[in-house]
């Protein structure tokens, strides 16, 4: 896929992995929608940095767990850029809590953002991809999901997060087979520990990093590179790439 002037929505791209993905797509010539939930200043900084680098981006506020907000994100994209070619469902939350302490509100919150968010955005964007006869959807999963359970170091307190990201995998593979005939590809990237705000609360992070086979945690840019690879290659669909330093 030639990315020049393509329109990409990257959810949760005011910071972290989403920001790196947005920048990478901008470097390739995409027009990018930088979605954020709360942090307008950071989102505007990202857009400004884009513009200074000669790119074209807009910031759009919206909570992906809310269907109406997702409709708004898509409507803004259409009115500013006239279409949608790429959707990266990156926005996500993480918290660790032993299962016995999880209450239904915790469970719902995790699924509202990580799973409903992906559904909401995809459901709102898809009609426009179908109309155009092409599109790419990338979902950001995690090695905490079922994809590599056998090789994961056990992490107590991850039941809700792991279940939500396993749902991301099932959604990705199933939707890929449903949409292939419409020339719409659906893939995923499953990062391991990556250097963002999300992992700064992980206890013993330096110790944990040493246990990664490659001896360090990942950089957001390394996740973005895998996303770009999956977007570019027109013959890959229903694939989930693990980017985890061997974890």
Residues catalogued as catalytic: 161
Q: How far is the CB of 115 from ligand NAP (least distance, A)?
A: 11
Q: Does 207 bind ligand NAP (CB under 6 A)?
A: no
Of 140 and 231, the one with the shorter C-beta distance to ligand NAP is 140
Residue 14 within binding range of ligand NAP, rule CB under 6 A: yes
Look up residue 216 and give its two tokens: 């360090």
Q: How far is the CB of 181 from ligand NAP (least distance, A)?
A: 28
Q: Nearest Cα to 164, choosing from 113, 90, 88, 105?
A: 113
Give me the least distance between CB of 241 and ligand NAP, in Å please.
12
Which among 49-57, 86-94, 99-107, 171-179 is the span making contact with ligand NAP, rule CB under 6 A?
86-94
Shortest separation between residue 96's beta carbon and ligand NAP, angstroms = 12
Site for ligand NAP in 118-147 (CB under 6 A): 140, 142
Q: How many residues bind ligand NAP (CB under 6 A)?
A: 33
What is the chain's length? 247
> Euclidean distance between the first and final Cα of the chain, in Å?
30
Residue 140 or 241 having the CB closest to ligand NAP: 140
State how far the Cα of 146 lies from the Cα of 142, in Å rounded to an integer.
9
- Quick check: 37 binds ligand NAP (CB under 6 A)? yes
93 binds ligand NAP (CB under 6 A): yes
Q: Would you count residue 15 as binding ligand NAP (CB under 6 A)?
A: yes
32 touches ligand NAP (CB under 6 A): no
Tokens of 114: 């990580």
Q: Which range in 25-33, 148-156, 195-203, 207-215 contacts ligand NAP by CB under 6 A?
A: 195-203
CA 2 to CA 176: how far, in whole Å? 21
- Contacts of ligand NAP in 47-66 (CB under 6 A): 63-65
Residue of the chain from 6, 9, 31, 36 that contacts ligand NAP (CB under 6 A)? 36
- Cβ 2 to ligand NAP, closest distance in Å? 26
Instruction: Note the residues at the interface with ligand NAP (CB under 6 A).
Output: 11-18, 35-39, 42, 63-65, 90-94, 113, 117, 140, 142, 191, 193-194, 196-199
């Amino acid at each position: 896929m030639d990315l020049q002037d393509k329109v990409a929505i990257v959810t949760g791209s005011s910071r972290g992995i989403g920001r790196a993905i947005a920048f990478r797509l901008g470097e390739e010539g995409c027009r990018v929608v930088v979605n954020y939930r709360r942090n307008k200043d950071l989102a505007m900084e990202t857009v400004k940095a884009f513009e200074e680098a000669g790119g074209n981006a807009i910031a759009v506020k919206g909570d992906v767990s809310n269907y109406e907000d997702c409709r708004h994100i898509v409507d803004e994209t259409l009115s500013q850029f006239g279409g949608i070619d790429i959707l990266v469902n990156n926005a996500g939350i993480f918290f660790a809590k032993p299962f016995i302490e999880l209450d239904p509100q915790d469970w719902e919150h995790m699924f509202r953002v990580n799973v409903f968010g992906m559904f909401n955005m995809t459901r709102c964007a898809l009609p426009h991809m179908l109309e155009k006869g092409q599109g790419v959807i990338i979902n950001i999963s995690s090695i905490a999901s079922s994809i590599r359970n056998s090789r994961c170091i056990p992490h107590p307190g991850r039941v809700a997060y792991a279940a939500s990201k396993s749902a991301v995998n099932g959604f990705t593979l199933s939707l890929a087979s449903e949409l292939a005939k419409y020339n719409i590809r659906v893939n995923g990237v499953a990062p391991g520990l990556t250097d963002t705000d999300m992992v700064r609360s992980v206890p013993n992070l330096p110790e944990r990093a040493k246990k990664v086979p490659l001896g360090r945690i990942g950089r957001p840019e390394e996740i973005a590179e895998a996303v770009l690879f999956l977007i570019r290659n027109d013959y890959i669909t229903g694939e989930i790439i693990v980017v985890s330093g061997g974890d």
